Amino acid sequence: MKRTSFANWPCSVARTMDLLGDWWTPLVLREAFYGIRRFDEFQQELGIARNTLSERLRRLVEAGLLEKQVYETMPVRHEYVLTESGRDFYGVLLAMTAWGDRWLSGEAGPPVVTRHESCGHDAGAQVVCSHCGERLEWPDVTARPGPGYPPKLLARPDVRRRFGLDDAARPAESNRPAG
């Protein structure tokens, strides 16, 4: 059965989920941030099937989040190193961790904490405005079409409603999609 692709949707959430594809991919990236680089190490740490791991690593290399580097020539063996794009994914994992810590940890508390070495304190991720630094909360933001939104789609009535383009008096909650 062929998987639906969201790669061309005009939504960064959909495009990111298309890249991730399943639960293994973020876990492979998590292990890369823990310093895992070699196939056997990923396989051992995650307990993932070799064919599944091969596919996830291939996809991450193709997408430019990991880079294959030769570490042995006889026989040729590769390790997987985070690229700039891959390192930039760390904020996504931290945001997922913050949500999981709040809603899924239970009474014992978070299973893993993140120490910010610069200040020496444990820290949690927050999504903040890139302009003023204020924390972004759903009631305080509005989604609107960006420069990459396809003009042809903006002509559709349902899309115009989503972004509140036809009715300025429309309630703010209804034009707050996550993409």
Q: Are residues 27 and 54 located together in one domain of the fold?
A: yes
| Domain annotation covers residue 98 | yes
> Which amino acid, one-letter code, is at 137?
E
Q: How many domains does the chain have?
A: 3
In a domain, 6, yes or no: no
pLDDT at 170: 47
Q: What pLDDT is attached to residue 5?
A: 85
- The residue segments making up the domain with residue 143 are 138-175
Q: What is the CATH number of the domain that holds 50?
A: 1.10.10.10
User: Does residue 100 lie in a domain region?
Assistant: yes
Judge if 27 and 45 occupy the same domain. Answer: yes
Domain match, 82 and 94 both: no
Q: How confident is the model at residue 7 (pLDDT cuts 50, 70, 90)?
A: confident
Token pair of 49, please? 């099937």
100-111 pLDDT, tens digit per residue, is 999 999 999 999
- Of 77-86, 147-156, 163-172, the poorest mean pLDDT is in 163-172
Confidence of residue 55 (pLDDT cuts 50, 70, 90): very high
Burial class of residue 60 in the structure, from the number of CB atoms within 10 Å of its CB (0-12 exposed, 13-18 middle, 19+ buried): buried
